[in-house]
């Protein structure tokens, strides 16, 4: 569907199959979609959503049966190609617009750096509404003429079964997935383990990204698979920017050097470039891989750049010519299972709950998920609130990975002298044992 939309000169907006109706509706309306194409299995829920809005609706079966003889337009590289929705530190999710030229640059950079070939064979296990799955895996594979096998939902047992067959050459995942695969390997019998590890050894490349790869996960994966995971760093707005080398030493805890065609630098608070090693700064990125705009948000687009450089909001330091990520400039951005979520966006939705007076969402460090979404609540009118009830309510309104995993009810949230909630103190509320 995506490549058909592109050939017809349209803009493709990948949606998440896991999202509840309010999240889908937000993206469909915000993107000004003219047509929604859905697989028949998802048709009932999406159809009812579109009853209220005049949008053309097609199932994939209908789309395939539709044979048009209209001539295809010439598609200019500067034309908009894709909008991917991403959470930021302000307001609701923003649509990141990339042009055909941006996508070509992102893909060519990875094909060169990681030497994609037509003989490659990758298993696609990631969600398709984010760049890791849709650009790094699917688009790179198709561009290289490689084979891309789609797995609709990640399942560690099924992934290991496919790896053990021994015909995959490249694998890409987020750190949480490697953790889940390690747990799957450890539960297998000795014979199964041998076949699983042998399947890994037949691959030429295994990559981790989208969140910090814990050094322990890297070490354990090496014991199991024989691979030192290639860790790289990217973002929806810029595609991939930094990568450990394909050939040469991969250093644990670092994300390597700029990818081909990507300009990267560190900047201090005044925007001045930092050239000395060991001094922390914000990662800034420039070049043809960088997105065009946030859809219909010219102010947010303007604020995201300084002197032509995109401000990532990630802090890093240079060590021996390689970048080490230190964290983010905003406490309100949470990375959980490789998904970026906004604390402010979740708070806004939760405030509509009848038992919530005020709330504060934080990301609490977690060995498996990177961070877990946790919420501290001031109950409204002393109505009792349980985590189960809150989750059930939230699942109907928020993507599954935005649903809080822990809840603390407090008489009043920690605040500073100006009455502003202090998030570091909110984090401390979760330092005790789980409920």
The residue (of 195 and 228) whose beta carbon lies closer to ligand AMP is: 228
Angstrom distance (rounded) from CA 51 to CA 94 = 24
Q: Quick check: helix, strand or coil at residue 123?
A: strand
The residue (of 59 and 87) whose beta carbon lies closer to ligand AMP is: 87
Binding segment toward ligand MLC, per CB under 6 A, in 42-50, 174-182, 252-260, 375-383:
174-182
> CB of 261 within 8 A of CB of 288?
yes
314, 332, 345, 371: which one binds ligand AMP (CB under 6 A): 314
20 forms part of the interface with ligand MLC (CB under 6 A): no
The residue (of 382 and 388) whose beta carbon lies closer to ligand MLC is: 388
Angstrom distance (rounded) from CA 324 to CA 316 = 5
Binding segment toward ligand AMP, per CB under 6 A, in 9-17, 22-30, 230-238, 292-300:
230-238
Angstrom distance (rounded) from CA 279 to CA 242 = 18
238 forms part of the interface with ligand MLC (CB under 6 A): no
177 forms part of the interface with ligand MLC (CB under 6 A): yes
Shortest gap between Cβ of 416 and ligand MLC (angstroms)? 29
What's the distance, CA 37 to chain centroid? 22
Angstrom distance (rounded) from CA 232 to CA 209 = 5
> CB of 315 within 8 A of CB of 328?
yes
By CB neighbour count within 10 A (0-12 exposed, 13-18 middle, 19+ buried), where does 137 fall? buried
Which does residue 174 touch among ligand MLC, ligand AMP, none (CB within 5 to 8 A, set by kind)?
ligand MLC
Distance of CA 358 to CAs 64, 349, 409, 435, Å?
49, 11, 10, 21
Angstrom distance (rounded) from CA 182 to CA 196 = 11
Q: Which two three-digit tokens encode residue 247?
A: 């050939």
- How many residues contact ligand MLC, by CB under 6 A? 24
6 forms part of the interface with ligand MLC (CB under 6 A): no
Quick count: other Cβ atoms within 10 Å of Cβ 281? Answer: 20
Which does residue 177 touch among ligand MLC, ligand AMP, none (CB within 5 to 8 A, set by kind)?
ligand MLC
210 forms part of the interface with ligand AMP (CB under 6 A): yes
170, 235, 346, 377: which one binds ligand MLC (CB under 6 A): 235
Q: For binding to ligand MLC (CB under 6 A), which residues are involved?
A: 126-127, 130-133, 154, 174, 176-177, 209-210, 234-236, 336-339, 369, 372, 400-401, 405
Q: For binding to ligand AMP (CB under 6 A), which residues are involved?
A: 86, 130, 209-212, 231, 233-236, 255, 312, 314, 325, 328, 335, 340
């Amino acid at each position: 569907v995506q490549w058909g939309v592109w050939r017809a000169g349209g803009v493709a907006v990948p949606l998440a199959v896991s999202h509840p109706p309010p999240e889908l509706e937000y993206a469909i309306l915000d993107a000004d979609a003219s047509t929604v194409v859905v697989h028949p299995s998802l048709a009932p829920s999406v159809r009812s959503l579109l009853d209220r809005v005049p949008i053309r609706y097609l199932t994939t079966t209908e789309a395939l049966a539709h044979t048009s003889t209209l001539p295809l337009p010439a598609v200019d590289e500067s034309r908009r190609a894709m909008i991917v929705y991403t959470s930021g530190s302000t307001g609701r999710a923003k649509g990141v617009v990339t042009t055909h030229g941006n996508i070509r640059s992102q893909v060519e950079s990875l094909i060169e750096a990681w030497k994609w070939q037509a003989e490659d064979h990758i298993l696609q296990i990631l969600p398709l509404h984010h760049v890791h799955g849709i650009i790094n895996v699917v688009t790179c594979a198709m561009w290289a003429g490689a084979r891309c096998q789609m797995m609709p939902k990640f399942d560690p047992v099924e992934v290991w079964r496919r790896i053990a067959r021994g015909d995959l050459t490249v694998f890409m995942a987020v750190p949480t997935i490697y953790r889940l695969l390690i747990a799957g390997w450890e539960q297998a019998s000795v014979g199964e383990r041998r076949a699983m590890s042998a399947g890994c050894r037949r691959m030429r490349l295994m990559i981790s990204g989208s969140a910090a790869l814990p050094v322990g996960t890297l070490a354990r994966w090496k014991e199991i698979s024989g691979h030192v995971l290639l860790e790289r760093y990217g973002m929806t707005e810029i595609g991939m920017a930094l990568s450990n080398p394909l050939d040469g030493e991969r250093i644990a805890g670092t994300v390597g050097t700029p990818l081909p065609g990507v300009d990267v630098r560190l900047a201090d608070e005044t925007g001045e470039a930092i050239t000395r090693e060991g001094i922390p700064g914000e990662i800034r990125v420039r070049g043809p891989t960088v997105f065009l705009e946030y859809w219909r948000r010219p102010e947010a687009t303007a604020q995201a750049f300084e002197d032509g450089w995109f401000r990532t909001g990630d802090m890093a330091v240079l060590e021996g010519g390689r970048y080490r990520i230190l964290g983010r400039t905003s406490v309100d951005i949470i990375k959980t299972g490789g998904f970026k979520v906004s604390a402010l966006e979740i708070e806004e939705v939760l405030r509509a709950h009848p038992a919530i007076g005020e709330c504060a969402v934080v990301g609490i460090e977690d060995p498996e998920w990177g961070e877990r979404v946790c919420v501290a609540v001031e109950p409204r009118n002393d109505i009792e609130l349980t985590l189960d009830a809150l989750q059930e309510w939230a699942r109907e309104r928020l993507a599954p990975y935005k649903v809080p995993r822990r809840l603390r009810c407090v008489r009043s949230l920690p605040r500073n002298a100006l009455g502003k909630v202090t998030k570091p103190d909110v984090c401390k509320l979760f330092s005790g044992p789980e409920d």
